[in-house]
């Protein structure tokens, strides 16, 4: 299992639009059904326009295939309209501590 943290630094007036997209029929419902996705949660900062996705996947390869699929289906253009800086994704392993 791998944990992916995706950071979306939204334009100030686009944060709610991004959250609404995630909640819609093309949003996280499709992510949760994608092969290798174990779970995904949305975190929203009350003090900024940042939205995080906390994701658990079977592997980095599963997540990267998913991201590629999303980009191939127009997500890149949508993010260009909503984000003030490029999407950031970091991968983590559980330490067992």
Residue-wise pLDDT tens digits, 3-43: 999 999 999 899 999 999 999 999 999 999 999 999 999 99
Handedness of CA 55, 8, 67, 94 (dihedral sign): negative
Q: Is the pTM of the predicted complex or chain greater than 0.85?
A: yes
Which pLDDT does position 23 carry in this prediction?
97
pLDDT confidence of residue 27: 96
Mean pLDDT for the stretch of residues 41-68: 96
What tokens appear for 22 in the block?
A: 């995630």
Note the pLDDT of residue 2. Answer: 97
Q: What is the CA radius of gyration of the chain?
A: 13
Q: Is 29 exposed, middle or buried (0-12, 13-18, 19+ CB in 10 A)?
A: exposed
* pLDDT (0 to 100) of residue 93: 96
């Amino acid at each position: 299992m791998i944990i992916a943290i995706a950071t979306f630094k939204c334009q100030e007036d686009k944060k709610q639009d991004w959250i609404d997209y995630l909640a819609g029929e093309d949003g996280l419902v499709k992510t949760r059904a994608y092969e290798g996705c174990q779970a995904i949660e949305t975190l929203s900062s009350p003090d900024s326009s940042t939205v995080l996705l906390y994701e658990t996947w079977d592997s980095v390869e599963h997540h990267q295939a998913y991201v590629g699929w999303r980009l191939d289906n127009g997500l890149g253009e949508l993010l260009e309209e909503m984000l003030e800086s490029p999407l950031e994704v970091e991968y983590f392993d559980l330490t067992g501590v």
